[in-house]
Every structure is written in C-alpha cells, then in structure tokens.
Copies of this chain bind each other. A is one copy, B any other.
Amino acid sequence: MKIAILGFGTVGSGVYEIAKTLKNIEVKKVLEKDLSKINIATDNYDEIINDKEIELVVECMGGLHPAYEFIMKALQNKKSVVSANKAVIAKYLDEFLKTARENNVEFRFEASVGGGIPCLAGIQKIRRVENIDKFYGIFNGTSNFILDNMYRFENEFFTTLKNAQELGYAEADPSADIDGYDVTNKVIISFALAYDGFIKNDFPCFTLRNITKEDILYFKKQGFIAKYIGEATTKANDYEASVMLNLFPINALEGNVLSNYNIVTVQSHTMGEVKFYGQGAGKLPTANAIIQDILDIQEKISFNPISIEKKYTYSSNLFKHKYVIRSNEELKGDFEKVDKDGSNFYHYTKEITQADLLKLVDGKDYLVTKVSEVLA
C-alpha cells in the first residue's frame, strides 16, 4: 500500500522509519515545508491528494488547522486517514467518521490515546462481546513524570515542571498536559469507542497546577499517591466523566506507574479489570500504533465498527464518590474529617456527587482530589 505522511516531525519521521522496514507499506510522499528534510517531501498537498496511487494519508501535523481541512480533503478524495492528533479528533470525530463512511474509506486513530499502548483496540475488542462498565487511566505522560518526580524526590511542582521541560518530557507551553486538555481529549476519544457516543468537554476537569510538595508529603503520610486520572462511565443515556487527581493506595498499580508511562484500565462484566501499560507518547511507540492502524486497514481488520450514534448527556448527579479538597482556609460543609497540616486544611468529603463537589470548590483554586475506588 502506498501512503503519504503529513508532517515530518517526531512522529512522522518515526512512521517513515518503521514503514521502511515493512514490505507492504511504501511511503510515497511526505508533506513538509522544509523540503530538505527528506527527498520525497512536497510542500503542495494537492500533489498527494491527486496521486491516485496513494491510498492512505497519515496525519502527523498536530493542532486543529490545517489538520482538520487536510484530513477532510483526504477522506473526500477516497483516501483512508490514520491520525494521532487527539485535539482534532476530539473536536471533529463525528465529521471524520461520517466523511470516511460516505467515501467508503477508513478513519483510524489508535495512536491518539496511550501512544503505543493498544488500549483503543482493547476497548473495541471487549465491546465486540459486551458493554464497558467504566474506563479510567493515566493518559498523560508529562503529568505522570511530574507527579512521580515530586513523589520520589519531594520537589515542588514548578521546579519539577522546569526539569521535565529541560529533559524534553514537557512542552515549552505545558498547559495542554498539566491543565488537563490533553487528558480531556483522550477521554472523549476513548468514550466514543467504549460507549458509541461523541461527548463534548462539558465534564469537570481540574488542573494539576495546584499540587504542592506539601500536598504530596501529606498524602504520602496518609498512605496515598496522587495520580492524574481521566475516566468515564455511563448510566442509560447519562454519563459521568472527569479529569482530576485521584488518590491511590501505595500498593495500587496506578500508584506505581513511574516516569512518563501510561496505564489504561477497562472494566466489564466478564473480564473484570483489564489494564494496558506502556509508553503513552514518543516517536517510535506512537509511530508503531499508527503503523498498526495502517496494517489493520490494509488487512480489513476491525473488531467493532466505530459508531457514535448514541446520544449521551453529562450528568453531575449520576454517582457519588469521596473527595479530598485542600485549601488554606477551613471550608464550611458536612465533611467526614478535616485535617490541618501546616497552613493547609484537607477536607475529606462524604460520598457526594460531582454537583456537590463543584459547589464546594466554587471555582476557587483549591487542590481537588478524588479518593480512588480501586482494590488494594
């Protein structure tokens, strides 16, 4: 199969590198402004679109535009598309799937969630047999690198972030990773495969920025490790989702996911908990997932055809959980326990809904954590 790669950065060059080792994939053109990067580069997308031999386009540009337009144009010209671009997929998945269907081609995106980890395939495989009860996971390597380093070396958040930036684990503008937009996108994409519906980002997302060394040390004393978790579940046509710190017992698997690794858990009736762990980003793991999608398209492998026809409404009253809110003033409310540690107040809520939680937090920059319900 002859393919084109849009963008020859980290992931695009990784796809090229792996494709070269395979007999059945030939990279014919690369869309890239810097034509010196590779001899098959072109800066004119029409050259790719008009090339009848190119059956599939790999979008590795990132960002919303022109990625959206380029994906749409490829699909409209009857070329399948594989993308790792979570931002554009979380926003336009419905259009991409509809356009792919209308043109009898495929749109695949395993690499957009969990990088190299085959977690979307895992969700689709389980869905072939039964419904998903819940999924949750560490979906972002940058935030996990920061939390793991804060925990192990007892450093402050911003020192650790700076260190992560120097080591290349965090972007110059880290907002997508540490404010939860990246995880939000991954929850939206995973949700589509797990529950056949396309939700918007209208569920709670709490930034990671508010966590301090004091918080980490306080939770450590209580036997907890904080991890940045995206999760979702449904009940009839309502759904609950969140992106926020969860507190895990120190012997929970999630608590022991080190460095920039990811772990994604899928729960269902017959399987119980299945977890997928690995590199959630990076050149070759992400490229591998893209190559796997290309091979699946080539071999017509599909566990569970993607449909997002079901309609779900976000409900802030669906389930009750326990939370711990840290502020530097004592909050009013009916708490299970309030711990004072230094100048911090840690408020342990009873089982409350997300609506109750949002009311308590009231838009303030408190540290908000959920008490994880995992077995340990």
- CB distance A285 to B256 under 8 Å? no
Report the separation of the CA atoms of residues A291 and B128 in the bound assembly, to the nearest whole angstrom.
Answer: 10
Note all chain B residues with C-beta closer than 8 A to A278: 271-275
- CB distance B117 to A274 under 8 Å? yes
Report the separation of the CA atoms of residues A275 and B116 in the bound assembly, to the nearest whole angstrom.
Answer: 11
- CB distance B291 to A272 under 8 Å? no
Report the separation of the CA atoms of residues A14 and B277 in the bound assembly, to the nearest whole angstrom.
Answer: 27
**Residue A252 is within 8 A (CB to CB) of chain B in the complex:** yes
**Residue A149 is within 8 A (CB to CB) of chain B in the complex:** no
**Residue A70 is within 8 A (CB to CB) of chain B in the complex:** no
Q: Which of B22, B125, B251, B276 contacts A129 (CB 8 A)?
A: B22
**Residue A39 is within 8 A (CB to CB) of chain B in the complex:** no
- CB distance B270 to A287 under 8 Å? yes
- CB distance B279 to A277 under 8 Å? no
**Residue A85 is within 8 A (CB to CB) of chain B in the complex:** no
**Distance in Å: Cβ of A306 to nearest Cβ of chain B:** 15
Note all chain B residues with C-beta closer than 8 A to A256: 251-253, 255-256
**Residue A18 is within 8 A (CB to CB) of chain B in the complex:** yes
Q: Which of B274, B284, B292, B376 contacts A258 (CB 8 A)?
A: B376
Report the separation of the CA atoms of residues A287 and B284 in the bound assembly, to the nearest whole angstrom.
Answer: 34
Report the separation of the CA atoms of residues A13 and B125 in the bound assembly, to the nearest whole angstrom.
Answer: 21
**Closest partner residue, chain B, to A287 (CB atom):** B270
Q: A273-B277, A275-B278 are in contact. List 8 more A-B contacts (CB 8 A).
A: A18-B129, A18-B130, A116-B270, A252-B256, A256-B256, A259-B375, A271-B279, A272-B285
**Residue A21 is within 8 A (CB to CB) of chain B in the complex:** yes
Report the separation of the CA atoms of residues A120 and B376 in the bound assembly, to the nearest whole angstrom.
Answer: 27
Q: Which of B121, B274, B301 contacts A116 (CB 8 A)?
A: B274
- CB distance B252 to A270 under 8 Å? no
**Residue A233 is within 8 A (CB to CB) of chain B in the complex:** no
Q: A275-B278, A285-B271 are in contact. Are A292 and B22 (CB under 8 A)?
A: no
**Residue A358 is within 8 A (CB to CB) of chain B in the complex:** no
- CB distance A270 to B288 under 8 Å? yes
Report the separation of the CA atoms of residues A375 and B278 in the bound assembly, to the nearest whole angstrom.
Answer: 13
A121, A253, A282, A376, most chain B CB atoms within 10 A: A253
**Closest partner residue, chain B, to A148 (CB atom):** B251
- CB distance A292 to B129 under 8 Å? yes
Q: Mark A230-264, 1 if CB is under 8 A from B, else 0.
A: 00000000000000000000011101111100000
Report the separation of the CA atoms of residues A275 and B278 in the bound assembly, to the nearest whole angstrom.
Answer: 6
A256, A259, A282, A285, most chain B CB atoms within 10 A: A256
- CB distance A253 to B277 under 8 Å? yes
Report the separation of the CA atoms of residues A282 and B274 in the bound assembly, to the nearest whole angstrom.
Answer: 14
**Residue A174 is within 8 A (CB to CB) of chain B in the complex:** no
**Residue A269 is within 8 A (CB to CB) of chain B in the complex:** yes
**Residue A204 is within 8 A (CB to CB) of chain B in the complex:** no
**Closest partner residue, chain B, to A266 (CB atom):** B278
Report the separation of the CA atoms of residues A128 and B291 in the bound assembly, to the nearest whole angstrom.
Answer: 10
